[in-house]
A and B are shown apart, each in its own frame.
Chain A
Amino acid sequence: MIRVENLWYTYDGDNYVLRDVSLEIGEGEIYYILGDNGSGKTTLIRHLNGLLKPSRGRVLVDGLDTRETPVSRLAEKVSIVFQNPEKMFYMPTVIEEISTTLRNFGVENPDQRAEEILREYGLSRYRDRSPFTLSGGEKRILSIAIMTGWSPRYLVLDEPTIGLDGDYRRRLQWAIDRHLSRGGSVVIVTHDMELVLEREGRVVILSDGQVVYRGYTQELIDLDPGQLGRYGLVKPTYARSTSYMKTSGVIKDYHGYCGVFAEVAGVLDNV
């Protein structure tokens, strides 16, 4: 479990970008961190593997205090995939990029495992290409492939859907589902409400460095679009229709939008 306890953080010693943030990320759960630009989302996740140390409060990863534990040890447990994948690439080929990271974490048979990862993520045809020559979507999928290779317990994705088209979006979904099915936890920082509403999970909304909303994805459906808009979030059209269907009694509850369609189909069947 990751416990963030009364976390305060300042870069310059004067202005706090995180103010009294507390949250708990349990095992096997999906946790969404939402909020507008500059609300402190990325600063918060940089605390999860010890890249930043709290100015006040503390962060515990499976009982390890991030202030006292080296990043290399925390990174084994908490894998963060940052927004710009290019910043992590430095090897001449895609396969070496994956195997180097596996070696860093002491994975057995890194070369063989790297080949498997390439196949799993559908990147085999790019095996010997420079990662810098891949398209935006391919780079993002490669970065996720790299950062899940050693099976970390917590996978943190910073704005994972930016620049992803249909096929790569499906591969991202597959990677999230697989990580969850193996008992890992996923933390997603995003503005993409469609991604948020695809799975049931816990949500916090940050604004100006503070937690202004806590709840579950299903409850976001009932939130006023104006309220979400204040935090830089846009409610998708189907979520607005779902909200309407719920208040008018067509459907009883929200269980992901696939569930909604199934329920509507059931209602229409009865009609």
Chain B
Amino acid sequence: MYRIGLEAFRFEERDAPLYRLDPRAKLLVAFIYMILTILANSQAIQLLITALLLATLLLLGRLGRKLVKNLVTLAPLMTLVFLANYLVSGDLMASLLPTQKLLNLVMSLNTFFLTTNPDDFAITLEKMGMPLTITLAFSLSLRFIHVLARVLTEIVEAQLSRGHKLDSGGLTTRIRNYTAILIPLIIISVRKSISVAETLELRGFREGARHTPFTTMKIGFWDVAYIIVSISIATALLIYGGEIENILLEILTRYLEDMAI
């Protein structure tokens, strides 16, 4: 399960249209979808946003298998959000809305993070005027997820091989069992981060020094098209959300009536 979770949010290079888009365009569109998700308070609109994001990730990103892993990982949190809301409000449909919002927020971020190389992400931040130290720390952290995932797998395997049972006993015993994973993970992570810092110094990295990025970015036709289409959809949903909801509800009611007949 932990392996699925770690793989679900990891960047992997792939030949798909979404991967070829400029990171700035993808970041902008991700933010548009996030704002739309936060503003829209109708389940029908949220459902439409989910459909749009699914289409983007599946058709433009070819991320089918990854998306399944993503949803499997997210399922416990979504269930928790739904149950917490249901316990407080007692309304089934009203509890569904925050769960949908959570799903759409994660999927919006996925359109950017699953399809953008951490190095390109650092350059994007730099182009947006962030200092190099911050962008480097950010991109190193993203790349570190992959390293930590591998270390974690190896630690779990080493502990299982020496007869350590991770999922046995009551809650407190289970929490205690996981110290066998956390202690080596923390120590190895700290050591790795120290070695990265030393390597940067050895390679002449200095704060405030000017540098030239290896790759340059250029907004092209498809980037502009991606932004315009997304903004148009978002605006349409915000302005005509009520009407769209009514139409969708009408279709649904008719369908249900037909089914009843």
Which residues does A use to contact B, with CB under 8 Å?
13, 46, 49, 51, 71-72, 75-76, 79-80, 82, 84, 86-90, 101, 104-105, 132, 146-147, 150
Contacts and interface: CB of A to CB of B under 8 A. Distances in A.
B130 to A, nearest CB: 34
A49 B183 CA distance: 24
B184 to A, nearest CB: 5
Nearest to A106: B163
Contact of A46 (B157, B181, B184, B188): B157
Given A86-B184, A90-B179, A90-B184, A72 B158 contact: no
Contacts, number: 59
22 contacts: A49-B161, A51-B161, A72-B160, A75-B161, A76-B163, A82-B161, A86-B184, A86-B187, A87-B151, A87-B158, A88-B158, A88-B162, A90-B179, A90-B180, A90-B181, A90-B183, A90-B184, A101-B163, A104-B163, A104-B165, A132-B187, A147-B162
B152 to A, nearest CB: 10
Interface string B179-220: 111011001100000000000000000000000000000000
Contact of B184 (A13, A75, A89): A89
Nearest to A132: B187
B154 interface: yes
A211 B142 CA distance: 37
Contacts of A72: 160, 163, 165
Nearest to A149: B162
A116 B164 CA distance: 22
Contacts of A90: 159, 179-181, 183-184
Q: How large is the interface on B (under 10, 10 to 19, 20 to 34, 35 or more residues)?
A: 20 to 34
B155 interface: yes
Of B159, B164, B179, the most chain A CB neighbours within 10 A belong to B164
Contact of B188 (A49, A86, A105): A86
B203 to A, nearest CB: 25
A146 B162 CA distance: 8
B163 A87 contact: no
A36 to B, nearest CB: 20
Contacts of A87: 151, 154-155, 158, 184, 188
Given A87-B151, A132-B187, A104 B158 contact: no
Contacts of B181: 90
Contacts of A75: 160-163
A88 B159 contact: yes
Nearest to B152: A87
- The B contact surface, by secondary structure, is helix
Nearest to A50: B160
A161 to B, nearest CB: 19
Contacts of B159: 88, 90
Contact of B154 (A76, A79, A84, A89): A84
Contacts of A46: 157
- Please give me the 8 A-B residue pairs with the lowest Cβ-Cβ distance, nearest first: A104-B163, A88-B158, A90-B183, A87-B158, A90-B180, A87-B155, A101-B162, A80-B161
Contacts of B165: 72, 104
A49 B159 CA distance: 12
Contacts of B180: 90
B154 A51 contact: no
A51 B163 CA distance: 12
Contacts of A51: 157, 160-161
A79 B184 contact: no
A89 B154 CA distance: 12
A22 to B, nearest CB: 23
A190 B68 CA distance: 38
A46 B157 CA distance: 9
Contact of A88 (B65, B151, B184): B184
Contacts of B188: 86-87
A210 B180 CA distance: 35
